[in-house]
Amino acid sequence: MAVASKGGEELAMKREEEEEEEEEEEAMEAPVSPIGQYFNSDALSISILGIFESEVAIDEAPVMSTLENVFITLHPRFSSIMVRDDHGNQRWERVAVDLNQHVKSPTFPGGLTTYDKQVKQYMTKIANDKLPQNRPLWDLHIMNYPTAAAAATVVLKLHHALGDGYSLMGAIFSCVRRADDPSRPLTFPHYKPRGPGTAAAAAGKEGGKASAAWRSVRRGVAVGFNTVRDFGWSLLKSNALEDGRSALRSGVAGVEFLPVEISAVAFAMEDIKRIKDKLGATVNDVVAGVMFYATRLYVQAAQKNGGGDEKQPAMTALVLLNTRLVTGYQSVAEMTRGRTKSPWGNHFAFLHVSVPSCGADASAADPVSFVLEAKRTIKAKRASLAVFLTGHLLEALRKLRGAEAAARYLHATLRNTSMGITNLPGPVEKMSIAGHPVKSLYFMVVGSPQSLTVTALSYMGQLKIAVGAEKGFINSELLVSCMEKSFERILEASVGKKT
């Protein structure tokens, strides 16, 4: 019996190894997904920067070892390039990885106490530089210089064609360890999945009672109305109706090629949760509300500084939503194997959300109303099939006119709005990368044809909100100050002073 059991185990292990080899072979020659083609096209080239602030100076040897032995082995995309065959189809092709081409360590002038200015300038350069197409689409930048926030700064640049924020963050978190106990896994904030169409799915459930059936009918009617309204609005925004020029939107053609200044500010997650619980909102709603109020405060301040008396302009934000029905990150292996609710790749949706208007004096507006309006709008748009229709529209464009036409449509969708907003959950515990404790982290989406991009990432009880602003047009310091003022006023108006 023991021999038979051992033989069965060996057979099972052999089959598992064969399945892994087959999956790896398929991944080596996998076609590039439609969204991957859009994000790496003549019309668009969008990347994600993961920014890590280290408590200690960086020892490059263990970092290189982690890249070689862990990172590039996580998924074939990290050692593949995009190639086009004779029929014009794009696929991923595995290549040899020379880490010396991917890892950059800039040299700054010596003798300074802090290097905040130099690090910011270098991040602007990283944001604008395009990743070479003749090697895998990622780079690592190590700035071993102290700033006011950290002993060193590391930036991992990943092309969006590789995957969305969920996929790429899942890969990054597969490379790190808990700083207090490397043998234990990192944990993440628990949240309930609320993908677009949640209410639409609920509308299809049959109730056993007449009242339940009537509620189902009402939900179905609401979904139908919301779908027609939102899809029509999306078509207008993508094709004809663009936001006007404002203090936060230059409207310059080719804005995605202009320098971007990246700044960040941190808020206590405990305070975010207090606002969320008091108003019955989500973290997404609170982040959007804080940003919406901050934009109104900023526009007013910018107009006063410029001597203008323009009214508050109409502005639209694209709020990015994860469409996976999951409650947390999965490992790369889990995302790429078998049937899963969180597959590897780009799985998200854009929602057009109008920035709530206010009177001429933004300072006199009700701060809480911005969160409540964001909550109401996003909830209504979730009860809609518009995002799925937009996905089908992009796919129809790709099939009829090619991937470049679909990419141009997506470019117009982004360009015609005033800002993009997205957020992701991060680890609850302190983490370390190759033995280096991470003091803070945040991320930024770069290459988008917008003057302003806003991201949020939670880490160790804080929510780090970062802004990528068109340099020389948007005053980043003033915008961050308005964000702090917006948060403080919303917190005080909803639950009182900060903890």
Select from 469, 472, 295 the least CA-distant residue to 374: 295
Residue 394: CATH number of its domain: 3.30.559.10
The pLDDT tens digits for 110-124 are 889 999 999 999 999
Domain end position, chosen among 131, 148, 178? 178
d(CA 435, CA 126): 25
Q: Are residues 174 and 222 in the same domain?
A: no
Each residue of 221-253: pLDDT tens digit? 778 888 888 888 888 888 888 999 999 999 999
Domain that holds residue 479: 198-425+450-494
Cross-strand pairs, 441: 52
Both 297 and 346 in one domain: the answer is yes
How confident is the model at residue 323, as a pLDDT? 55
Any domain includes 227: yes
| DSSP state, residue 149 | S
pLDDT of residue 200: 43
Sheet strands side by side (includes 152-159)? 103-104, 138-143, 152-159, 47-54, 436-446, 431-433, 177-178
126 and 243 in a single domain? The answer is no
Q: Which band of pLDDT confidence, cut at 50, 70 and 90, is reported for residue 22? A: very low
138-143 vs 152-159, strand pairing mode: antiparallel
**The model's pTM:** 0.85
Do 113 and 72 lie in one domain? The reply is: yes
Whether 336 and 268 map to the same domain: the answer is: yes
Final residue before a domain boundary, out of 178, 213, 247: 178
**Alpha-carbon gap, residue 465 to 422, rounded angstroms:** 10
CA distance 123 to 421: 20
Mean of pLDDT over the chain: 84
- Weakest mean pLDDT among 149-158, 167-176, 248-257, 377-386: 377-386
Same domain assignment for residues 158 and 229:
no
Residue at 255 is within a domain = yes
Is residue 11 pLDDT above 70, yes or no? no
Model confidence over 78-90: pLDDT tens digits? 999 999 877 777 8
Residues 150 and 74 occupy one common structural domain:
yes
- Say how many Å lie between the first and final Cα of the chain, rounded: 64
Task: In whole angstroms, give the CA distance from residue 69 to residue 146.
Answer: 28
State pLDDT tens for residues 144-160: 999 999 999 999 999 99
339 and 376 part of one domain: yes
In a domain, 185, yes or no: no
Are the beta carbons of 439 and 427 closer than 8 angstroms?
no
DSSP 8-state code for residue 168 = H
Residue 101 confidence (pLDDT): 96
Distance (Å) of CA 307 to CA 299, 301, 304:
12, 10, 5
